[in-house]
Structures are given as structure tokens and as C-alpha cells.
Amino acid sequence: PPNTKTRGSASAEAKRGRAHGGRGLLTLSIPPPAPRPLRFPAPLAAMLRPSPLLPVPGASAAAAPPGRAASMRMFHGDVFLGEADVFPIKPGPEGALPFPSNEIRISHLSPASERCPPLAILQTIAPFSVRCKLQAKPLPPHPSLHRLYLTCFNEYKSAVVVVGDEELHLVAMPSKVEKVPCFWCCSVRVGLYAASVGMLNLRCLAIVFDLDETLIVANTMRSFESRIEMLSRRMDIEDDPVRVAGMSAEIKRYIEDRELLKEFIDTDTVTDNGRIVGTQKEEVQPMPGVQERLVRPVIRLPERNAILTRINPEIRDTSVFVKLRPAWEDLRSYLTAKGRKRFEVYVCTMAERDYALEIWRLLDPEANLISLNNLSDRVVCVKAGSKKSLQHVFRDGGCHPKMAMVIDDRLQVWDEKDQHRVHVVPAYAPYYAPQAEVFLLLLTCSLLNIIAVLE
């Protein structure tokens, strides 16, 4: 059972963070240390957990639900296990049994769950998914069925029947009838249960990042000129000298970076504080199934927290000036610290795909957060004007939306049912308020130090 006091404290800290406006990239994105389950001595644990084949007071696992029972033969592969009565949950046509050919053929056992009972996981990722209930014939059960039942019950496994793109998980349940194995049958999408168990065993969740104005700000020559022109028009009609001074400073920053980008486009070099910096040819590792070799000219300016790159190396007008959010390095270090993966990382953006892949390569140059084998599926691009959706992000079944959190600077771009999972961060505005990011970086470092002490 979880340590409720620890969980409550973490919740209180989260509320206090929201009360202060949720400033900064990391103010709420770092999860509290996972509560440690209480561990009982073996004799006490045995007393707390019901015996699988003894009557359990008040248990209803083997109670016959609505509908007429059907007798079916059970197999594990080609090995005959015995016969079972199958009770549909719903009466009538809605209670049609899910097993083809009126037999139950188990293909494999699920991975063992180290933390949660299988039924708890299934009810989380697929609520109301119980399709039917199984009970072995009241005659002495076949030894193979008895062993399967005990294995599933004691090792937190389920027996899996694959039907098309659906998995039917047979979950061993305590039985009201002595020495008679009983199972509940739950249906989920193929692969989803195994992925969920793997993440729970590792104490790992999914985190989905937006790119533009959340982790980076990128500009082309056209966007630089557009922003400078817009600010100049606003200055012409502004009477407040403080605001005029602020816009003037913002324009100056834009012009400075625009000149660096123009020099990069024209000469493949930039002059930074009197120092000429040339390009480095960076080879983009091809994704599986892609044979084309791509080499991009890149200039990295760590002091400016900036990178210049060219999306299409053959077209100079695709050059981009990218400013990385200062707190990103600390967050990336946290996500990969101590050799333990804390999160499965995904990207969901409204940018074009080639641009999104290059920006993520700059953010994760060593592919520690998303491997090259997973990159094509993990970087999800949404058409402009469409809503972002966790269901679309996890379309391959690698995670369930209930096991994910989102980091984005905008809430309304997400599907309404996913908005409560979005942690909204202030939009990254390095040209408008660069001092704010310095403060947020200091705050981030303090938070990470506190988390390290707690861990």
C-alpha cells in the first residue's frame, strides 16, 4: 500500500507550486519520489494475501454473472488444460463470448507485474473491459490448468488469448469454490498491457514535449524580418517611454541574431564577439528503412545558448537560428540521471516533420531520450489547426494516456479530454524577457538539488 502521508505532502507541494503561477519549465514537471511499498515479512504477507483456492469471505470472483454459461475446452498452445464454464457479463446478444471456435487457446503468459495486481492495471488502461468470467469444471481440475492458475495468481501474471488486434487477458481470481480455479477475462489492445507493466515495473511514465516556445524558439530570415517590422510599427504608436524602451531592446536582440543568421546563410560562418566560427558538418543518423545519408552544416554557440542549422543542406534559405531554453540541459540531465530511465519521451508538435526531427536532434544529440529505432514513432507532427491528442501520440500502443504527462506552453491546442494531463509552462520568450529565464534556471537548479536530497 502506498505511503499516504508522502503522497499527500507531494500533492500539497504541487498545489503550492500552482498557487505561485507555475513559473518555469520544471516547477511542476519533476515528479515527487515514488512512495515505497510497505514490505512485510513472508509469514505476515502470506496472512494478508488470500489463498487462491480457498473460499474468501465476501468475495464475488466466482459468482455467476448474468447470462447463460457455456462450456469450453482450454489449451495453452496445443496442450490441453481442461474444461471451464464461461459466464458472459451481459445477457443477450451484448454478452456474446469473445473466444473464436468455442475454445480458449492461450498463446502466452504476460510479463510479471512487480507492483500492481494484473486486474488493477487492466481496469486502469481499459476500464469496464471485463468480458466474461471463467470457472473450471467442479470436477478435480486438470493438473496443467491448476498449475497455470497458481502461476498467474502468485506471480502477478495473466494468461493471454490473442484475437485479431485484441488481447484477452485471463486474470486469476480468488475462488469462492474450494480448489476450483477462477479467471476474469479482460480485453485490451494488443501490446498495451505488456507496455504498461514494463513501465510500472521500472517506475517509469511517459512525458510528451511540445517544441516551439516550450523548449526552443527558432527563426528564419523571414520570421526575423516580420517580427522586427511588427515591433517597429508598435513603437511608432506607443506613447509610454518604458514600453518604447522595452520594444527597442527587443528589436536590437532580433537584429543581432538576424545578422548572425544572414552571415551563416552567405558564408557558412558567423562572427561572434570578434571571433569567426565556422560550420561543423554533422551527419544525421538515418532512421531504420531510410538509406539516404544527410550531412548538415551546424554552428553551435553555447555562450548564446544558440544553434544555427540548415534543414535542407542544399537550400540555404532553409537555415534556422535556434535558441534552446536554458533549463533544458538540467531537465535532460534529470531524465537520464543515475542510469535509470524515469520517462519514456515523446514529442508532439504542429511543425513540419523535417524541421521537428532536426530540432529534436539538436535537443537530444546522443539519442539518449529517444532512440533512433523509436524516433519515427515518437516524434508526432499534427496538422496546423488540428487538436493534439494523446491517443494519436500513443497510436502504436506503447503507452496509455493515463500514464502520461504533457509539457506545453499552450493548453487549448490539446483535445479536451487530455487537457488535465497538460502542465502549462510559460512560453519561452528570449527576445522579450531574457532575464526571466535566468531566474527560472536558478529556480530549476534549486528544485533539482531538493529532489536529489529526497531521493
Q: What is the pLDDT of residue 437?
A: 61
pLDDT tens digits, 426-454: 899 999 877 666 545 544 554 455 445 44
Cα(251)–Cα(222) distance, integer angstroms: 15
Q: Is 266 helix (H, G, I), strand (E, B) or coil?
A: helix
Residue limits of CATH 3.40.50.1000 in the chain = 1-34+203-215+325-455
Alpha-carbon span 124 to 126, nearest angstrom: 6
Q: State residue 84's pLDDT score.
A: 92
C-alpha cell at 239: 506613447
Residues of the chain with CATH 2.40.290: 55-196
Sort residue 180 into left (φ over 0), alpha (ψ -120 to 50) or beta: beta
Cell of 72: 469450453
Give the residues of the chain that fall short of pLDDT 70: 1-67, 92, 94, 141, 289-291, 339, 435-455
pLDDT at 178: 73
Which SS3 state, helix, strand or coil, does residue 217 take? strand
Q: What's the rounded Cα separation, in Å, for the pair 444 and 265?
A: 35
Grid coordinates of 8: 499527500
pTM: 0.76
What pLDDT is recorded for position 396? 83
Helix pair 434-454, 328-335: axis angle to 10 deg: 20
pLDDT at 65: 47
pLDDT in tens, 141-182: 688 899 999 999 999 999 999 999 899 999 999 887 777 899
Dihedrals phi, psi of 20, to nearest 5 degrees? -90, 15
Task: Pick 55-196's CATH classification: 1.20.1530, 1.10.1200, 2.40.290, 2.40.50.
Answer: 2.40.290
Q: By CB neighbour count within 10 A (0-12 exposed, 13-18 middle, 19+ buried), where does 281 fall? A: exposed
Nearest alpha-carbon partner for 278 in 251, 295, 299, 307: 299
- Provide the total of helices (H) and of strands (E) in the chain, helices listed first: 12, 20
Question: Do strands 166-173 and 205-209 pair parallel, antiparallel, or not at all (unpaired)?
Answer: unpaired
Largest CA distance in the chain: 92
Instruction: Fold for 1-34+203-215+325-455, please state it.
Output: Rossmann fold (3.40.50)
Give residue 360's pLDDT: 97
pLDDT of residue 339: 67
